[in-house]
Amino acid sequence: MLKRFFKFLGLSSYEGANTSLRRGRVPGAAPADAKKELTSAVRRELVRKSRYLHKNSGFVREMVSDMAIYSVSDGIKPQAQTADAAWNKAAEDLFSRWAQRADITGRFSFEQCQSLVCRGVDVDGEYFVVKVRDRFGRPRIQLVETHRVGQGSATAETIDGIGFDRFGAPAFYRVRQDDDSTRDVPASAVMHVFEPESASGARSAPTLQHSINHLLDEIELLALEKHAVKDNADISRVLKSESGEIDESGDFMVQADGEAEDGSDPQQVQRIVGGKVVSLKPNESLESYQSDRPSPVFTGFLEHLKRDSAAGMLPYEFVLDSAKIGGAGVRLVVAKADRRFSFRQMILIQRFLKPTWGYVIGDAIDRGELAAVKGWHRVRFVTPRRITVDAGREAQQNRADVETGLKTLSEHYAELGQDFDEQLEIRAQNARRILDAAEKYGVPVEMLYRPQGTQLSSLVDTNAQVSREGE
C-alpha cells in the first residue's frame, strides 16, 4: 500500500531524485551519450567564453601557464628503446634535428608545439595535430585549433565534424580551410589531443567550463567595486548639519570686511597660527570621510569564486596564494599539482608525442636514413624535472635511495628531466679529462676532484694502467 502511495506521488527512496518547491529544477534533459549533450553549438559557446576569460582574467592565465610550464617546460625528450645503442643515438639525433622546425609553417619548434597544444587543451578543451609533408616531401605537423574542426552545416555523416565508422572509431575529421571550404582528413593522419572524461564523447569541452559563470561574475563584480572605490576616493570630507540644510552662501565662506561677523575672522586666525581655518556654524561639523570598500566580506567572496574555479584543474594555493597553509599543507598541495602535471604529460605522450615519433622515424627508415631495426617504434620520453617543495631534503633522500639500490640511476636522472645515457657519457668524459690533467701536470687527483664514496687511489691506478697499455 505504501509503495503504491509513493509511486502515485512520484517519490523515490533516493532523496536526490525527488523534486521540491524549495529547490530549483536541475536543467538538462534525460541522461544521454556525452556527444549528444555536448552539441556543436554548446561546445562553440563554451570555447568562446573560455577564450575570453583566458584573454582577460589573470587567474585563468596563471592556471593555464602553470600547467604548460610545469608539464612541458623546455620540452619532453624522446629516448629510443631498441637493443642497438648506436641506432638509438642516431635516431634521437635525427629527431632532434627535425624538432627544430617541426611545424609546417616553420615558425615553431617541437617543444613550442608541445606548449601550444598543452595550453589549447586547457583553453579549448582539445587540440588537433595533423601529419603533413612540406614541399620537399619531409614529414611535418600542422596545428589545427578546435574552431577549425566541425564548422559549417551539420550533416548526418558526422558528429560535430568527426566521422565515425560502424565500430565507433573516428574515420575522418572535417577541417575548415581558409576559404571556408571543408576537407576530410583521414583519422590516421590526425592526432586528437584531449583529456577524455566520457567513453561516449566525441569532442571535449574546455577544462574551465565548470567555472565560466563564476569567473565572468567575478570580472563584473570587480569592475563595479572598482568604480565604487573610485567614487568614494573622490570624497575627502563630509559636512554634517543638524537641520540637514546648507545655506547658499557656502559653508566655508569667510565674512567680507565691513560685514557683520558672528565670530572671529578665519583669515586673521590663519595669519596668527598658520594652516587653514574653517569657520562653521554652531550646528555644523566637518569630518573626514573614510570608505570601507572593498570590504573583507567582498574580498572573501571573490576568493571563494576563485577557489571553486580552480577545483578540478590545479590547487588554488598552488596557483595564487599559499600563505594560509603550513608545511604539511604545502606538501599536499604540491603533491596534488605534481599528479596533475604527470597526468597531462601522459596525455601528451600517448596522444601526441608517440605518434609523432613513429611518423618521423618511420619516414626516415623508408628513406634509408635509418636502418629498420627490431623495435624501432619503441620509445620512452623524459619529462621535465618534477616539482618539489623541499629540494635539499629530497635530493638527500634520492642519493640514499641510489646508494642502497632502492632506485636506479636511470630513474634518478629521469626525475631530474635528464637522459641517463647522455649524463653517463658526460661523466665518463669528465673523469677522463680529470685523470689526464692530473697525469699531465703531475698533481694528485685529490687536488682536482674529491668525490665522496669514490676510491681515488683505484682511479689513479686505473689511469696509470691505461697509460702503460697505450704505450
Q: Indicate the DSSP class of residue 352.
A: I
The CA-to-CA distance between both ends of the chain, in Å, stands at: 105
- What is the C-alpha to C-alpha distance for residues 47 and 62, in angstroms, rounded to an integer? 18
Contacts 24+ apart (CB under 8 A), 270-274: none
- Are 116 and 198 within 8 A, CB to CB? no
- Are 219 and 59 within 8 A, CB to CB? no
CB burial of 86-103 (b: ≥16 within 10 Å; e: otherwise) equals ebbebbbeebeebbebbb
What is the number of other CB atoms lying within 10 angstroms of the CB of residue 177?
9
CA atoms within 13 A on the CB side of 407: 15
- Are 383 and 393 within 8 A, CB to CB? no
What is the number of other CB atoms lying within 10 angstroms of the CB of residue 227?
10
- To the question of pTM greater than 0.85 for the whole model, the response is no
Phi–psi pair at 51, nearest 5 degrees: -65, -35
- Are 37 and 199 within 8 A, CB to CB? no
The stretches of 57-172 forming alpha helices (DSSP H) are 58-71, 85-99, 110-123
pLDDT of residue 11: 74
pLDDT of residue 435: 83
How far, in Å, are 79, 382, 424, 437 from residue 410 at the CA level?
12, 10, 10, 29
- What is the C-alpha to C-alpha distance for residues 62 and 54, in angstroms, rounded to an integer? 9
- What is the C-alpha to C-alpha distance for residues 218 and 118, in angstroms, rounded to an integer? 26
Phi–psi pair at 445, nearest 5 degrees: -65, -30
Concatenating the DSSP letter of every residue in 386-433 gives: PP-S-HHHHHHHHHHHHHHTSS-HHHHHHHTT--HHHHHHHHHHHHHH
Beta strands (DSSP E) in 327-460 are 379-382
pLDDT of residue 417: 63
pLDDT of residue 388: 75
Report cis status (omega within 30 of 0) of the bond before 186. no
How far, in Å, are 45, 186, 291 from residue 192 at the CA level?
20, 12, 53
Grid cell digits, residue 456: 681515488
pLDDT of residue 253: 46
pLDDT of residue 262: 55
pLDDT of residue 66: 93
- Are 460 and 466 within 8 A, CB to CB? no
Question: What is the CA 410 to chain-centroid distance, rounded?
Answer: 28
Residues 6+ apart with CB under 8 A from 393: none
**Mean pLDDT, contiguous 10-residue spans, the chain (471 residues):** 53 82 82 87 93 93 94 91 91 94 94 96 95 94 93 68 90 90 93 92 90 91 87 75 57 48 63 68 75 80 88 88 81 90 95 96 94 92 81 68 74 69 79 83 80 54 54 52
Cα-based torsion angle of the residue sequence 395, 400, 401, 402 in order, rounded to the nearest 10 degrees:
90
